[in-house]
Every structure is written in C-alpha cells, then in structure tokens.
Amino acid sequence: MNDTFTCDDKATLVAYLYNEIDAPDRLRVDEHLRQCVACAAEVGALANLRTELAAWAPPDAQLGFTLVQRAAGAPSAAPAISRAPWWSSVPVWAQAVAAVLVLAVSAAIANVQVKSGPDGFVVSTGWMTPAGAAVSAAPAPVAGAADEQWRPALIALEQQLRDEIRATRETGTVRAASRSPEADEAMVRRVAQLLDASESRQKRELALRVTQLTRDMDIQRRADLLRVEQAIGHTSVEMARQQQRLNYVIRASTTPQQ
Amino acid sequence: MAGDTDSFNQLVLRWERPIYALAYRVIGRDEDARDVAQETFLRAFRALPGFKGQAKFSSWLYRIALNLCRDWIRRKKRTPVVDMPEDVDFIEMAADQGPVESIEDLVARNEMSRIVAEGMKLLPEEQRAAIVLKEYHGLTFQEIADLQGCPLSTVKTRLYQGLSVLRKHMESRGMTSFASGRAS
C-alpha cells in the first residue's frame, strides 16, 4: 500500500470494513476517514448494512441426513443419504391429533363395537343388524313337537336377556347422569379456556397486523420523504442555476457598450 | 466400513446445517437446498479416500457444495431466487423465541430479512457467494479466494460491489440508515 490512502482504493476499504487489514494500513485508513466525509459515510453505511444482513436466516428446516450403507448383496450396494421424513417437521401435537382422527375414522368405517360380558371384553367389527332386531328375530316360530319342549325355555331366556339389557341401559344412564355435573363443569372450564386462548390469539394477531400496517406506512413515508428531499434538492440546484444565468444577464446588460 | 459410515455420520450431523444454509442462501430454494446438501455429503463420502487433509474439511465441503450450487444455477439457467414464506406465523415464532423478542421486533426482523433476500437476488452468483461465505460463514478473504479460484483482490472487489448493490437496494426501500453513518 502507498503512504496515503486514496478514495478509490475499495479493496483496502473492504479489508478495513472486515478488519482483515494490517495495523499500518488500518492507521492510514483511519487517518483518511477523519478527513474524508464521503469515505467515512460509506464505511459507516456499509457497517450498518453488515449488521442488518444478519437478519436474513434460512428456514429452520429439519434435516436429519444419515448415510446408509447398503448390504453387499443388495441390488445397489452404493451408499445413500437418507433424509428425515417429511412429517418430522410437523409438530408432535399435530401428529397426535392426526393419529387420533385416523383411528376414529377407521373405527367408524369398520363399525367397531366393544362389549363386556361374562366372557370378558368382546370386540366385533362389520355392519351388523341392530341388537333389538336380532333379539326379536331369535324366537322365530318353529314347527315340530320337539320344538314345543324348548319354547318355554327359549321364552324364558329371551325375557332374561331383555331384563339384562334393560338393566344395563339403566345402569349406564344412571352412571352418565351421576357424572353429568362434573363432566359439564370440566367441559365448561375447557370451553372457557379455549375461548380465552382464542381471544388472546385474536388480540395478538390484531396487534401484529396493526404493527405491520404501521411499519409499512412508516417505510412508505420515509421513501416519500426521501423522494421529496431529492426533488427539493433538484429544484434548489435548478434555481441556483437560473439565478446565476440571471445575474450574468444583468451584468451583461449593465456593462457599457464599447 | 460400518465404522466409516458411523464416523462420517458424525461429520454430517456437525455440518448439515451450515451446508444447507450455504446452499439456501446461494440458490434460494428450500427444497433444492436440501437436495444440494444431500448430494454434497454423498459426494464427500465417495471422495473421502482422496481427501488428504491438505485443506480444512469444512473448506472441502464448502467447495463441493458451491460447485453443486453453481451447477444448479447453470442447469436452471436462471438467477438465484429466494423463497420467502408469505404466511409467517409471528405468534408461533414469538412463542418459539420466548419473551425476549417482541412481536414488533419479529416483524422488523422478518421485514429486514425479506429486503435482504430481495437484494441478494440482484447480485451475480460470484458476488452473492462471496458475501454469503464472508458474512454468514466467517471465511477469510484467502479462503474465499481458494474456494472461488480467483485472486484475493477479486474477492474484495466482489464483496465491495455486492455490498454496494445491497446498500442501494436498502436505500431504495427507504432504509435511510445506509445513506450515512460511521463505522463502529
């Protein structure tokens, strides 16, 4: 480098900006910046720019690359990089909700029924006739003397089954009724929480939109001001030129003719 | 061989994010940046026997990634673009960031990020890569020159020209702080 720094030495200016410069050269640039307003402004603006560049960040992507070495006997034994599956970027709660929904839909489609009885829990699937219809269809009229012997037993069994079914329904109703107030309170609390959360979110979203709008307006206002300032500056320069021309004309007109 | 794979996977874990970030900032597309990062590690593994340690492993990876980015840009025959999410959920972002950063700060940061990304689109690939390597990966002028295969002075010129374009872009967006000031 020469003894003095010159304004067009941009390579040294960049080295100074990134602090990759020898101490003597740094001193020379410092000395120059104390005297040259334009270079000092440029270095300051570039330093500000560097600070703002940090705002640009890539997406927070879930990568999870893994090198997979295939077996020697595989059709292609070349190594491959596997990626994290696409759903790894989905939040866990969303995955859980999706899983529950899939299970519920599957159960609805398959008409899964779970019953408890003397033989334990019974899980059945498929579209079946209603239980009442099945029960009423059970004592179908039969013919024959041998069947007559079984008829009272079958009627007794049918009655017993009906009693059990009724008892089961009543018990279920009683249980449901006894749980009702607590369940209602819990439900009300849950709904209130959801409403609060929704309201809070709406407030924050509103604040966000207002902030964005304000910021956009501010940026637009600053841009407009900049344009106005530039226009005023241009007009001032033009007026100064006109003034100079006018002065020249006045001087020329007042000069005595030879 | 399994030991090689395991060891290499440790390196992948260490460098996957910087390589992805480099690819994203140079070519500007999330999915393509993932592809480039994936291909970078695959090529690095294949070329690992030829790596003699004459350069830093990171520089070696950066070189592979940059070459792939260059190939991508030439193959697509277009300038880098930047995917900016249109519907950023600031509420979620604020929740992730905790109470330190307000929504207003997040909005400002996102706005600035968008403006910077727009400005980066204006730059030729060499200037863009030089700025990315310097600003976001902290490489020295000499390391960038080695990666880009050009003289040191060319790197400085690329940086100056690129920064100047970005500065003008910022000014055009009403960011008056770039019109004057003093280095700190």
In terms of domains, do B97 and B142 share one? yes
Determine contact: A207 vs chain B, CB below 8 A: yes
- The verdict on residue A31 lying in a domain is yes
What ipTM was reported for this prediction? 0.79
Question: Are B21 and B49 in the same domain?
Answer: yes
Kindly report the pTM of this predicted structure: 0.55
Q: Hey, is the C-beta of B12 within 8 angstroms of any chain A C-beta?
A: yes
Please indicate whether, in this complex, the C-beta atoms of B163 and A46 are within 8 angstroms of each other: yes
What is the Cα–Cα distance from B184 to A45, expressed in whole angstroms?
A: 10
Tens digit of each residue's pLDDT (9 = 90 or more) over B143-170? 999 999 999 999 999 999 999 999 999 8
How far apart CA A12 and CA A8 sit, in angstroms, is 9
Q: What percent of chain A has pLDDT over 90?
A: 18
Quote the CA–CA distance of A68 and A76 in Å, as a whole number: 12
Q: Same domain for B40 and B110?
A: no
Tell me, yes or no, whether B106 lies in a domain: yes
B130 Cβ under 8 Å from any chain A Cβ: no
B66 and B130 in a single domain? The answer is no
Q: Which chain A residues have a beta carbon less than 8 Å from that of B122?
A: none
- Residue A210 counted as domain residue: no
Give the count of domains, chain A. 1
Residue B85 lies in a domain: no
Structural domain for B156, as ranges? 90-178
B111 touches chain A (CB under 8 A): yes
- Structure-token match 């059945």, residue found: A124
| Mean pLDDT on A50-64 | 85
* B89 pLDDT higher than 70: no
Q: Is B5's CB within 8 Å of A215's CB?
A: no
Kindly state whether residue B184 falls inside one of the protein's structural domains: no
Mean pLDDT for chain A overall: 75
Verify whether the Cβ–Cβ distance A57 to B175 is below 8 Å. Answer: no
What does the alpha-carbon distance between residue B81 and residue B28 come to, in Å, rounded to a whole number? Answer: 5
B99 shares a domain with B72: no
Q: How many domains does chain B have?
A: 2
Please answer yes or no on whether A47 and B160 come within 8 Å at the CB atom: no
Is residue B84 assigned to a domain?
A: no
Which residues from chain B sit within 8 angstroms of residue A69, using beta carbons? 1-2, 5
Lowest-confidence segment of A197-206, B13-22, B29-38, B82-91 by average pLDDT: B82-91
Say if residue B94 is in the same domain as residue B163: yes
Q: Is residue B156 within 8 angstroms of chain A, CB to CB? A: yes
Give domain status of residue A29, yes or no: yes
Residue B49 forms part of a structural domain = yes
Q: A195 φ, ψ to 5°?
A: -65, -45
- In a domain, residue B183? The reply is no
Query: B76, B110, B129 — which closes off a domain?
Result: B76
Considering A169-173, A251-255, B3-7, B77-81, the range whose residues carry the highest mean pLDDT is: A251-255
* Co-location of B105 and B173 in the same domain: yes
List of chain A residues whose C-beta atoms are within 8 Å of the C-beta of residue B179: 41, 45
Give chain B positions within 8 Å (CB) of A13.
Answer: 160
Judge whether A114 lies within some domain.
no
Residues B56, B112 within the same domain: no
Predicted pLDDT at B150: 95
Same domain, B108 and B155: yes
Residue A58 lies in a domain: no
Q: What is the CATH number of the domain that holds B109?
A: 1.10.10.10
Query: How many angstroms away from the CA of B77 is the closest CA of chain A?
Result: 23
Q: Is A80 a domain residue?
A: no
Q: Which domain holds residue A42?
A: 10-51
In a domain? residue B160: yes
Name the domain boundary from B42, B76, B110. Answer: B76
Residues B8 and B39 in one domain: yes
The token pair that represents A81 in the structure block: 């990089």
The B residues from 67 to 96 touching A (CB cutoff 8 Å) are 85, 90-91, 94
Residue A37: is its pLDDT beyond 90?
Answer: yes
Exposed e or buried b per residue across B17-47, where buried means at least 16 C-beta atoms within 10 angstroms of its C-beta: ebbbbbbbbbbbbbebbbbbbbbbbbbbbee
